[in-house]
Structure 1
């Protein structure tokens, strides 16, 4: 566990394949990718303290969801069971996202074992199109379970948001012409206290948001907050997503996941110039 420190940003690279653990754009699957300069390949360390020692949790720097195990059989050509991006709510969720890291005998190379005793492994050694990431039993120990830990330094301030995505107006013809159905989800958001969020039952505001554009979502939340605060001057803000009641906040600076019709996103808004805003950490994925 010495390679991991709480709130650190890391990449996990397959020692055999050279590809990176990647949070897929649907916000659900986990795969391997050759891209290292992407928030989807960045993970935030969450050290969870228990009586039997510290455990490692990893949540995506893109979507905030946690690397977790399942008992779903892996796809054809893969070993073991699937991994997924999961929310972290209560004890059943916790067991799926708890890991122990042990040294593999090489510099900065680890084995990651879930509390159920299964090891995180890459796939596609001989069939490179098999890019799924799975968990497998110790009886099937393999070099494909070796992961190199790469530290990602922090950058100064949040990165710029991607440009707006056009969302067609509702209607039969627009949906027929649009390549994919437009995702619609509930957004529940709150404005953080200057020193950090204080969660209460009645602090959340709900809206229905269509599309995936983080640019448009930020503008919509800024408009609503300015109205509530009667703020007539421009201001800056950062949106942070919370994946489950016990999930840690993650700055949301990429477009929303491509799946999740009807899914609720919980977002805490931090105003610029506040101590809570200044304490946010952003990985510099472009650093060498």
Structure 2
């Protein structure tokens, strides 16, 4: 990650790099609202809607529903020695992908450039697009999120509510007091719950496996020291996380790896910095390969898992 900030940005991005390393910004950093490893919601102060990771596994949009894992984002705070301020990466608690600004135009009816969920190892990802700088607004109770590649995260749909996607719009970093209120966000901390939530049961009406779309599941099972006990991949049809857990248990048994009861398996999503968060929602609609880390109930790795209490 440190190498991301040592990369020489293009001239139009130098302004943001200067902001990241500016002592002036240090006085206004709102990092007390972002705690490493915790979960947060981002609520548009103008619309009252929450930033959601879309079910397709790609898009990002705003919705009124608060009690949803799709509205939960895991915080990664990092501050290299050269920087006056720490920066953020925001990791979807639902689908395990990062909030990232792209160079593509936002959809029609939206401002600026497209914002998406991206895997940290996606071949088309500019890793710097996942880096955000949080700065307090003039009122001191909200933040705006400046992307390393330029522009601020903004809501859309003030007058046309059907245009409810998020995007990144260019701003003058020297005039932060006059940013659009559509770029103002309220950060809500999500407390942790002590036990893992129940996985959603599969729907009764499902397509037969022979015609249901499938994706590749890539798994890694590590011991307490980080040694790989088993790794492999298999094809899985459908989106049910409940069925995936059962299929994983069956795969481990059929291949002579281990006999583990499905309820004792916890499937986790890896982050860029090596942390893991439990997968507790159905899989995204996209059929991209899914990478999971296998954790066994009762092990040290299981004891340190953090579960977002989205109903709190």
- Asked if Structure 1 and Structure 2 have the same fold, meaning a TM-score greater than 0.5 normalized by the shorter chain, the answer is yes
SS in structure 1 at match of 2:33: coil
Give yes or no for the alignment of 1:35 onto 2:68: no
* Partner of residue 47 from structure 1, selected from 77, 80, 97: 77
Question: CA contact under 8 A between 2:249 and 2:260: conserved in structure 1?
Answer: no
Q: Which residue of 2 aligns with 1:285?
A: 310
Normalising to structure 1: TM-score of the pair?
0.87
* Partner of residue 4 from structure 1, selected from 7, 29, 34: 34
Q: Structure 1 residues 37, 99: closer, same or farther in 2, change over 3 A?
A: same
Q: Structure 1 residues 49, 204: closer, same or farther in 2, change over 3 A?
A: farther
Unaligned runs of 5+ in 2: 1-30, 173-177
Question: CA contact under 8 A between 2:99 and 2:117: conserved in structure 1?
Answer: yes
Q: Which residue of 2 aligns with 1:179?
A: none
Deviation track 1:57-116 (CA, whole Å, cap 9, x = no partner) reads 000010110000011111121110110001113895420100000001335410100012
Deviation track 1:5-27 (CA, whole Å, cap 9, x = no partner) reads 10111000000000000000011
* Partner of residue 149 from structure 1, selected from 184, 187, 198: 187
Q: Structure 1 residues 89, 242: closer, same or farther in 2, change over 3 A?
A: same
Q: Structure 1 residues 96, 198: closer, same or farther in 2, change over 3 A?
A: farther
Q: Which residue of 2 aligns with 1:239?
A: 267
* Partner of residue 207 from structure 2, selected from 142, 159, 168: 168
* Partner of residue 273 from structure 1, selected from 288, 291, 298: 298
Counterpart Cα distance in 2 of 1:233 and 1:16: 48
Structure 1 stretch 32-41 or stretch 231-240: which is displaced more?
A: 231-240
Deviation track 1:115-159 (CA, whole Å, cap 9, x = no partner) reads 122100000111111101000011493110000000000001110
Counterpart Cα distance in 1 of 2:215 and 2:257: 25
> Shift of the alpha carbon at 1:223?
2.3
Q: Which residue of 2 aligns with 1:129?
A: 162
Q: Structure 1 residues 222, 100: closer, same or farther in 2, change over 3 A?
A: same
Structure 1 stretch 207-216 or stretch 161-170: which is displaced more?
A: 161-170
Q: Structure 1 residues 5, 233: closer, same or farther in 2, change over 3 A?
A: closer
Structure 1 runs of 4+ off > 6 angstroms? none
Q: Structure 1 residues 198, 126: closer, same or farther in 2, change over 3 A?
A: farther
Higher relative contact order (CA 8 A, sep 6+): 1
Measured on the aligned residues, the alpha-carbon RMSD in Å equals 2.3
Counterpart Cα distance in 2 of 1:77 and 1:234: 46
- The alignment of Structure 1 onto Structure 2 pairs a total of residues equal to 272
Counterpart Cα distance in 2 of 1:67 and 1:247: 17
Counterpart Cα distance in 2 of 1:149 and 1:233: 39
Counterpart Cα distance in 2 of 1:118 and 1:93: 15
Q: Which residue of 1 aligns with 2:15?
A: none
Q: Which residue of 2 aligns with 1:60?
A: 92
Counterpart Cα distance in 2 of 1:234 and 1:161: 12
Structure 1 stretch 128-137 or stretch 225-234: which is displaced more?
A: 225-234
Structure 1 stretch 64-73 or stretch 83-92: which is displaced more?
A: 83-92
Give yes or no for the alignment of 1:210 onto 2:242: no
> Shift of the alpha carbon at 1:168?
2.3
